[in-house]
Amino acid sequence: MTANAGPVDRTLRILVGLAVLSLTVLGPRTSWGLLGIVPLLTGLTGFCPAYAWLGISTCPKR
């Protein structure tokens, strides 16, 4: 698994993941908030399976 998410992309994914996960505790308290695990994990690992499948990379070139 080669990283294919750049630093800005990763930061946004982590923030969105935490915000969506907060729906399980705050606000409507719905279990749909568990979907926030997906962007949180892709942000923490730096690997997005959808990006790999589509051949996209937001990582800076080395």
Q: Where are the domains positioned within the chain?
A: 7-54
pLDDT digits (tens, 9 = 90+) for 1-46: 899 999 999 999 999 999 999 999 998 998 999 999 999 999 999 9
Q: Using CA atoms, how far apart are residues 10 and 45, in angstroms rounded to an integer?
A: 8
Q: Using CA atoms, how far apart are residues 24 and 49, in angstroms rounded to an integer?
A: 25
